[in-house]
Amino acid sequence: MAGLEDLYREIILDHYRSPRNRGELAVPPAHKVEGFNPLCGDEVVLYLELDPDSDTVTDIKIGGQGCSISQASTSMMSAAIKGKPAAEVRQLIRAFKALMSIHESKLEGEGDGSDLAAELAGVRLGDLEALQGVVKFPVRIKCATLAWNALQQGLEDIETADA
Ligand code: ZN
């Protein structure tokens, strides 16, 4: 499916060249979280703003630098979660990580990933599916998941602070 791969490459390059939601937010009310991938030298900085009443991601800004996969994934993540309820964002995090690890477990010969496929059921990843091509290069999976791990950390930090 060369056509689909070309389309995916275009989506990734577009986000890399024109990252969405780049910038900073005032802390507080926003929460800042950073992530680092030592394997590749990728850095991400996220500014997350949640409305506590509606439990919705009202705003997100991104910063950092790194390879095209890490930067495109961060941009795509920010576009995918902005304005979404936190519960939906958590579902998206699980689905995205499942998308990455299904292929990882196949590569490592650990079953067919059907448990993980259940996580993906009913979640629309949209453009994010473009990133599944990176699983052919296992070393790049950490580049793609970096922003998502930072996002998960940020949500957990905010919950802990609210408790
Ligand atoms: Zn990288």
> What is the per-residue pLDDT across 13-61, written as a single tens digit (0 to 9) for each?
999 999 999 999 999 999 999 999 999 999 999 999 999 899 999 999 9
Q: Which residues contact 121 (CB under 8 A, 6 or more apart)?
A: none
pLDDT at 163: 63
Distance between CA atoms of residues 51 and 59, nearest Å: 9
pLDDT at 124: 81
Residue 127, domain CATH: 3.90.1010.10
Average pLDDT value for residue range 119-137: 82
Report CA(20)–ligand 1 centroid distance (Å): 18
Report CA(47)–ligand 1 centroid distance (Å): 20
Return phi, psi of residue 34, to 5°. Answer: -120, 150
- This prediction has a pTM of 0.88
pLDDT at 103: 58
Report CA(67)–ligand 1 centroid distance (Å): 4
pLDDT at 38: 95
Which position has the higher pLDDT, 50 or 120?
Answer: 50
pLDDT at 4: 76
Report CA(44)–ligand 1 centroid distance (Å): 11
Q: What is the CA radius of gyration of the chain?
A: 15
Report CA(163)–ligand 1 centroid distance (Å): 34
CA-nearest of 159, 36, 26 to 89 is 159
Q: Residues lining ligand 1 (ion), CB within 5 A?
A: 40, 42, 67, 70, 143
**Secondary structure (DSSP) of 114-133:** HHHHHHHTT---GGGGGGGG
Report CA(52)–ligand 1 centroid distance (Å): 33
pLDDT digit string, tens, across residues 67-106: 999 999 999 999 999 999 999 999 999 999 888 886 556 6
Q: Which residues contact 157 (CB under 8 A, 6 or more apart)?
A: 31, 33
Residue 113 pLDDT > 90: no
What range does the domain containing 139 cover? 2-162
How deeply is 99 buried, as exposed, middle or buried, from its count of CB atoms within 10 A (0-12, 13-18, 19+)? buried
pLDDT at 158: 92
Residue 107 pLDDT > 60: no
* Total number of domains constituting the chain: 1
Residue 1 pLDDT > 60: no
Report CA(77)–ligand 1 centroid distance (Å): 15
